[in-house]
Amino acid sequence: MKIGEKSNMVGLVLWCILLLIGFNIANALSYDYTASIECLASPQKPQYNGGVIQNPELNEGLKGWSTFGDAKIEHRTLGNNKFIVANSRVHPHDSVSQNLNLEKNKIYTFSAWIQVSKGRIPVSAVFKTQTGYILAGSIFAESSCWSMLKGGFTVDASGSAQLYFESNNTSVDIWVDSISLQPFTEKQWMSHQDQAIEKWYSTEPSQGKVDYSVPDAMLQFAKKNNVLVRGHNVFWDDPKYQQGWINSLSPADLSKATTDRINSIMSRYRGEVIGWDVVNENLHFNFFESKLGQNASAVFYNLAQKIDGTSTLFLNEYNTIENARDGDSTPAKYLQKLRDIKAFPGNGNLKLGIGLESHFSSAAPNLAYMRASIDTLAATNFPIWSQK
Ligand SMILES: *[C@@H]1O[C@H](CO)[C@@H](O)[C@H](O)[C@H]1NC(C)=O
Ligand SMILES: *[C@@H]1O[C@H](CO)[C@@H](O)[C@H](O)[C@H]1NC(C)=O
Ligand SMILES: *[C@@H]1O[C@H](CO)[C@@H](O)[C@H](O)[C@H]1NC(C)=O
């Protein structure tokens, strides 16, 4: 695993203890956020061990693969890497293909490593289905090194399909290796998209119906694999993420519901997690403050400390290091929030932690700004954890 991979876990966010190094483990099926934008001497392993692709690493000759259109295909070995080459191409679609069965209602992630025999040429991965052609992704492939094509798609009808590769420049050979096609059910997909498992809206979607079966299972998995776990999250200050029944509560009832929530989840997993995101994103949002008063978050941290005084109580925010232009969550505002929470009666000795979501956009990160921001936050001597 490389530094800089996005590790955005389902519900519980599983953390490696090293500062700024994310550690992502699989639950039943966890989304693989890794992507390479470098052209590498050797391709990486196929994601999800290839998923439903047969012979994804081409270690079994041409098994599972056939020609598409008028290309010729051959199995080649270079060093200890085996891959497939489509040459003598005449039409853009002339390449190598594999037949697969695709299911409607599944979400497919696709990846492959591509090289071309010369130049720097756009190559696409295409699925020919019963109803048409689906573009799974495109890449500029280069000669002498491997580029990762990462994409995905859904289909509107179940049935057989053919994966093939396409390049308008027919004078180049297309080399392919480490192919992966991994289907997700919508539920599996949503669970990683939302990171929703331990969140209030997923453990108590209707009032009083608390269900911890999913986080329980994940925690067991993490334990078995010696992975440290951080509880994410007790509350989320974004009004968008409040389940329906929360919105209709009076302040007094909401206050009681929040106390029940914090007691319930933190007593259940006390001693099992090394840290808690007590209030998520309370620099950008203030749902609980708007309903319960300016010190709502401070009160939650106070309660949290009483229930689980040994683990670190994190704030968690985005854009603090990744976007200098977001005025809501600058390091200075982060520091002020930490001070406010600590200043609340009884909070003087809180074991606070600084969580940084680190959702970098495709733009190159501003390393100098990041470094300076981390230095500033580190001056608090609170532990800093990054989701990256
Ligand atoms: C195809 O790619 C090769 C290698 O980069 C280049 O020399 C050639 O001009 C390209 N052909 C077309 C039609 O673009
Ligand atoms: C090939 O050319 C067509 C027509 O110009 C274009 O739509 C398509 O995107 C090109 N394919 C690739 C892989 O560049
Ligand atoms: C919390 O905030 C409310 C108003 O927002 C205030 O009345 C109350 O005194 C505060 N409590 C403490 C302990 O500061």
Looking at residue 337, which CATH number applies to its domain?
A: 3.20.20.80
Domain boundary, last residue among 137, 152, 185: 185
Q: Residue 5 pLDDT more than 50? A: no
Give residue 329 CA to ligand 3 midpoint distance, Å: 24
Residue 138 has pLDDT above 50, yes or no: yes
CA distance 2 to 114: 21
| 73 shares its domain with 150 | yes
Residue whose structure tokens are 């994966």: 163
Tell me which ligand sits closest to the C-alpha of residue 255: 3
**Ligand 1 proximity of 118 Cβ (cutoff 6 Å):** yes
Residues 167 and 273 in one domain: no
Q: Whose CA is nearest to atom 14 of ligand 2?
A: 122
Q: Residue 39 sits in a domain of what CATH number?
A: 2.60.120.260
Pair (257, 364) in one structural domain: yes
Average pLDDT over residues 35-55: 91
Q: Are 155 and 289 in the same domain?
A: no
From 35-39, 87-91, 121-125, the region with the lowest mean pLDDT: 35-39
User: Which ligand is nearest to the Cα of residue 341, counting in written order?
Assistant: 3
Can you give the pLDDT at residue 170? Answer: 97
CA pseudo-torsion sign 148, 152, 157, 159: positive
H/E element holding 107? strand 106-116
Per the prediction, the chain carries an average pLDDT of: 85
Residue 387 banded pLDDT, cuts 50, 70, 90: low
Q: What is the pLDDT of residues 282-341, one digit of tens each?
A: 999 999 999 999 999 999 999 999 999 889 999 999 998 888 778 899 888 899 999 999
- Model confidence at 362, in pLDDT bands (50, 70, 90)? low
Q: What percent of the chain has pLDDT over 90?
A: 55
The preferred substitution site among 121, 167, 168, 170 for testing ligand 2, maximizing ligand atoms within 8 Å of CB, is 168
Token code pair at residue 155: 């289909």
Residues 233-289: pLDDT tens digits?
A: 899 999 988 988 999 999 999 999 999 999 999 999 998 888 899 999 999 999 999
Closest C-alpha residue for ligand 3 atom 11: 295
Last residue of a domain, one of 185, 207, 222: 185
Ligand 2, atom 3: closest residue by C-alpha: 168
pLDDT of residue 11 exceeding 50, the answer is no
Which of 133, 164, 185 finishes a domain?
185
Q: Helix (H, G, I), strand (E, B), or coil: what is residue 153?
A: strand
Q: Are residues 150 and 225 in the same domain?
A: no
Assess if residue 135 is contained within a domain. yes
**In-domain check, residue 21:** no
| Amino acid at position 207, single letter | Q
Task: Please check whether residue 2 lies inside any domain of the structure.
Answer: no
119 and 205: one domain? no
> Atom 3 in ligand 3: which residue has the minimum CA distance?
293
Give the pLDDT of residue 17: 27
Atom number, ligand 2, closest to the C-alpha of residue 168: 1
Q: Give yes or no for residue 186 having a pLDDT over 80.
A: no
Tell me if 19 is assigned to some domain: no
**One domain for residues 118 and 229:** no
Is 58 a domain residue? Answer: yes
Residues 243 and 346 in one domain: yes
Q: How far is the CA of 270 from the centre of ligand 3 (A)?
A: 28
Q: Are residues 227 and 355 in the same domain?
A: yes
Residues 146 and 234 in one domain: no
Q: How confident is the model at residue 381 (pLDDT cuts 50, 70, 90)?
A: confident
Q: 0.85 cut: is pTM over it?
A: no
Task: Tell whether 257 and 370 lie within a shared domain.
Answer: yes
> Is 30 a residue whose pLDDT tops 80?
no
Ligand 3 proximal residues by C-beta, below 6 Å: 293-295, 345
Q: Does residue 12 lie within any of the structural domains? A: no
Structural domain including 122 reads 35-185
The pick from 172, 173, 174 for probing ligand 1's pocket by mutation, whose C-beta has the most ligand atoms within 8 angstroms, reads 172
Q: How many CB atoms lie within 10 A of CB 240?
A: 7
